[in-house]
Structure 1
Amino acid sequence: MTAALPLSNVQIVRRAAEQLDGVILGKGTQIRLALACLLARGHLLIEDQPGVGKTTLAHALSRTLGLGFRRVQFTSDLLPSDLLGVSIWDAPSRSFHFQAGPIFSEVLLADEINRATPRTQGALLEAMEERQVSEGGVTRELPNPFFVIATQNPAAFVGTSPLPEAQLDRFMLTVTLGYPDTRSERLLLETGGRGDMVRDLGAVLDAPTLLGAQAEAEQVYAAPALLDYLQLLARATRDHPALLSGLSPRALLALLAVSKAWAYLEGRQMVTPEDVQAVFPALAAHRLPLRDPSTRVQDVVARLLRDTPIG
């Protein structure tokens, strides 16, 4: 009897997507965006009103990934040291010992991140950008992989502090779940919530597999014509009359990385304009400040994609 060939890294990642599809009903696109964000070594922001499954998706992701996981409920009294850790004086040894905070985990769920004060929100900046934490004059490396999944309620909700632009820019993608479709909602009514299913999920990925998949996604080819298209999109955001500012070079690099990851999930070794268009709304919407608050940024993004020539 011939032994089955071992699964490739991309096949394992696809199996993770299939497992998540069975728990988070009718949200296949958002699940694939979340996995593309992970493969591109980014961080994910899930934004929507309470009760539509933000935390459920985050928990399901963490269990499927099989990585070290910590959850922090962000509140107005949460201090930076509650997140990063603190040095504690040890009298017998007459020295300080660092007690690591929950940020020293492979997956950090920052639940309702915009309920914390700007000072605590800002404590994440160094960790998310440089994957290290500085405390007491000492810099400590974070685990590899390191993935932040944050949820936030709409800014109009009571008790929220909007994330500053610098903090938003640290999130590679923002996804919105929205209400379930009729079929998925009916299935929820017939079978109950997904909490028990999430708790029973087994790990599909592990750290070595994920690191291997990330390295493979980085090697996906982007042709010069594709880079031309990325630059045209960025220039269109910078020149658009409805926007105060456009995409930065850092955002453009993130767009390239996550487009490669999307192509990798699709089983291709070259990025196409369709890959860029698939991820562009989730990458751009939270980075594009509007001149007129009554304008919908989603409409601006759709026009940018429609009006920017592919080549």
Structure 2
Amino acid sequence: MFVQTSPGQSGSAHVVVLGNEKGGSGKSTVAMHVAVALLQAGQRVATIDLDCRQQSFTRYINNRSAWARRTGLHLELPVHRCTEPGETMQILDNESSELGQFLNAVSAVERAFDFIVIDTPGSDTYLMRLAHAMADTLVTPINDSFLDFDVLGTVDPMTYSVTGESHYAKMLRDARRKRRQLDGASTDWIVVRNRISALESRNKQLVAEGLNELSLRLGFRSIDGFAEREVYREFYPRGLTALDDLDEALGTGPGAEHVTAQEEVTSLLRQLKLPIDERGRRRAANRAEWFNQVNKPLDVHDILGAPQTGFQAGDRPGPRS
């Protein structure tokens, strides 16, 4: 599923940030699929939801946990934190509270986990900017239209050629420059085209050409993401993903749309080129074999294989690999 790449800094989690200064682009759906895929590859994954108001990512994970309890199924779950909105009348006090929650969440997991997946709000906030500056891999989903393209760049109305950079792109340029100045690291920025029509159209071709032109200016990679499929909406209430075994999760075999969605997700994850640790793959295989032999259900701690942290006090330790 993944392309094997060299791991980042030893002992430090690889930070994957889902960001776009526009709502409704599929950030939470992509974030959930990335987190589950990493867990299935044996990686230790923590997730953080910075969208204090909407909390779609948090509810997606909570739905998954509830469905696992209701059905008795083993569904991989990350260790999750969500920043709660400040409740004072002072904006600065609220921002300070939210910043403290975020920094505490990151510091608690950055050394004990392989990946941190962060979902950001579709608005320009201090926390959103901070998360973008921290990203090792930045994933920006956009709907396949010039309405979403406008977040990144502007085009000539006659020729559709790129004429400039938009507010979000300028913010990202500044965040990436600050990151290089701070620790010399670069951010791999990937723009994911979501809700792609299966039909060829002039709009589809023009958006693709515009993204290719803009990518040369801004230094991102453009890849195809998820098509407009009903199955992705049906997954959310039960916290499921296209990567789950629907024979177990729903009691029905996967339909043609699910199979196609699974292929889309697999292709996207391969193109993200995340630094998967081969030891994690072996850990996942060893644990799966061990639990098959003893016929025990998997707990969250067993799946993650992480040392005890404040997130999961009381979890039963799994076998050592």
| TM-score between both structures, scaled by the size of structure 1 | 0.29
